[in-house]
Amino acid sequence: MMGLETEYGIAVEGCPVEGLLDAGMEIVRAYPGSHVALWDYRPESPRRDLRGFTAPMLAQDPEDARYDRPDRLRTPAEVERSDRVLANGARFYNDHGHPEYATPECRTVDDLVAHDRAGERVVLAAADAHEATTGRAVRAYRNNTDFHGATYGCHESYLTRRCVPVAALVAGLTPFLVTRQVFCGAGKAAIEEGGAARPGFQISQRADFVAVPLSVDTLYNRPLFNTRDEPHAPAAELIRLHVILGDANMSEWATGMKAGATSLALELVEQGWSPPVAPPDTVAAVKAVSREAGLGPVAALSGTGRWSAVDVQRSYLDAAGTAFGGRDDGTDRVLSEWAGVLDDLQSDPEDAFDRVDWVAKRALLLQFAEEEGLDPADPAMQSLDLAYHDLHPEHGLQMGLRQAGAVRRWVTDEAVAQALAVPPSDTRAAIRGHFVSRHAADLVSVCWSGLEVRYRGRRERIDLGRLAEADLTGWSERLARAVGLDETMTIMSQLEGR
């Protein structure tokens, strides 16, 4: 079970950075699609750490705090966040000035990619609606940096067994996460340090902002692994492994491979498999792979200088192929695409132009610089980098590649359109989506792990936490046929008692 949360960058005509918290809120509130605004924050516990303690407070970025207006505290958090629960089971809200789309819980990579792409359409619809209302142009960017020291994330969640020690998860997954950027890095025409950007090209947007291997913090001193202990599922058995290192990909192939390969690597580690290499300094290794493009040996990966990022990826791929090959079509697809891209990166990275964001971006920027007589170190390269991530269909560079049919797809347009309206049928998101689309007036509150419904004069709580792993395909089909709240509640009662 997995999910993706993507924070989008926004530019609103005439809006300074100090106004972006309000702008993000207004954009989310402009979303014209079916939703309820009843998010229940009570189950959230951002300071509780997987390692068995509760942090006294979460770190804030002191540079960013300069933009807070003195009257900011007057805006209640739930108003600022403006959470929307959508009919497809997703959550759409304002996270510190960034419209953020959290996919519903997905069991397959195909569903995850379709719902993540549906999130782009939700953001665009909200931006368009806000622009139409205010007359101020809005641009939305699916990237991770503003080139002035601010970053925003694309976070992954994977439901994981709590019996696997955190130390084993970290040791088993770190070499994979450090090196997967060779195929899922979004590319960046800058090296960012100390809040300033200097010319250069690296394969990851996010690597410059990683400060520690693991931490409960997300706004400052960011980790690879966010250790917030918030499973949204039975806590005695499960954790939600929260990876916040990744880039927001424009390439849907890269999004699919990021989630698919990470899921398989996680399964390997859950089964006790250990990688053959351990970076002596995780943070240094992340940055080294990103800045050295990771295609030759990278000393920081092992301390020996014998391993390239592709070599490390192959060790995971080989183990996953042995353990899981032939299991099902979805797994085989990930294994096949994984092998193909590693072969291409090793022989000629340009062969991965149609799949890997950093390869496409670098090629476009270099070609443009050559044709226009620009120095590749010209600051205009960062504007072109930004344009690569622009979701506007007439201005975005990667959108242009999509329109030209020059990028490899993971899902069909029909699957994306369906994901915009319908939750995955086999996860608890189907129940959440059913209530939003059919019984919104009866809902009292919604969160990842449950719902409250007003029924026959009482508040009934529906526990979705215990259904975190359940395959609800048959139940969602029954819900789809249900007529009225009585029948829905009868089905929910039967599901609870099964």
Partner 1 sequence: MHIRLEDRTPRPAPPTPQRKEEGEGPTRPDVKRPDNSDLLRRMRRVDPEAARRYRQRSGQ
Tokens 């990842």 appear where?
Answer: 448
In the set 44, 59, 75, 124, which binds partner 1 (CB under 8 A)? 124
Report the distance separating Cα 92 and Cα 119, nearest Å. 8
In the set 2, 12, 50, 61, which binds partner 1 (CB under 8 A)? 61
CB of 323 to partner 1, least distance (A): 26
In the set 274, 322, 412, 493, which binds partner 1 (CB under 8 A)? 412
Report the distance separating Cα 452 and Cα 462, nearest Å. 6
DSSP, res 228:
B
Read off φ and ψ for residue 160, nearest 5 degrees: -140, 150
Tell the burial category of 130 from Cβ atoms under 10 Å away from its Cβ (0-12, 13-18, 19+): buried
Report the distance separating Cα 399 and Cα 391, nearest Å. 7
Applying CB under 8 A, does 20 fall inside the site for partner 1?
Answer: yes
Report the distance separating Cα 108 and Cα 415, nearest Å. 13
In the set 395, 473, 487, 493, which binds partner 1 (CB under 8 A)? 395
Q: Which stretch binds partner 1 (CB under 8 A): 27-35, 281-289, 470-478, 487-495?
A: 27-35
Applying CB under 8 A, does 452 fall inside the site for partner 1?
Answer: no
Tell me if residue 444 falls in helix, strand or coil: strand
Applying CB under 8 A, does 133 fall inside the site for partner 1?
Answer: no
Catalytic residue among 95, 247, 344, 385: 95
Looking at residues 244 to 263 of the shown chain, list those that interact with partner 1 (rule: CB under 8 A): 244
In the set 44, 59, 134, 147, which binds partner 1 (CB under 8 A)? 147
Applying CB under 8 A, does 409 fall inside the site for partner 1?
Answer: yes
Quickly list DSSP for 345-408: HHH-GGGGTTT-HHHHHHHHHHHHHHHHT--TTSTHHHHHHHHHTB--TTT-HHHHHHHTT-S-
CB of 292 to partner 1, least distance (A): 24
Looking at residues 202 to 221 of the shown chain, list those that interact with partner 1 (rule: CB under 8 A): 218-220
Q: Which stretch binds partner 1 (CB under 8 A): 38-46, 101-109, 165-173, 486-494?
A: 38-46
Determine the angle formed by the axes of helices 484-496 and 429-438, rounding to 10 degrees.
160
Applying CB under 8 A, does 482 fall inside the site for partner 1?
Answer: no
In the set 445, 455, 482, 495, which binds partner 1 (CB under 8 A)? 445
Decide if 95 is catalytic. yes
CB of 470 to partner 1, least distance (A): 27
Applying CB under 8 A, does 346 fall inside the site for partner 1?
Answer: no
Contact 189, 201 (CB under 8 A): yes
In the set 150, 265, 266, 288, which binds partner 1 (CB under 8 A)? 150
Applying CB under 8 A, does 447 fall inside the site for partner 1?
Answer: no
Q: Which stretch binds partner 1 (CB under 8 A): 89-97, 167-175, 306-314, 448-456?
A: 89-97
Q: Which stretch binds partner 1 (CB under 8 A): 175-183, 295-303, 304-312, 441-449?
A: 441-449
Q: How many residues bind partner 1 (CB under 8 A)?
A: 95
Contact 98, 81 (CB under 8 A): no
Report the distance separating Cα 173 and Cα 454, nearest Å. 44
Sequence-separated contacts (24+) of 339-343 with Cβ below 8 Å:
341/183, 341/257, 342/182, 342/183, 342/310, 342/313, 342/314, 342/317
Contact 274, 312 (CB under 8 A): no
Q: Which stretch binds partner 1 (CB under 8 A): 6-14, 262-270, 279-287, 291-299?
A: 6-14
Applying CB under 8 A, does 168 fall inside the site for partner 1?
Answer: no
Which residues are known to be catalytic? 95
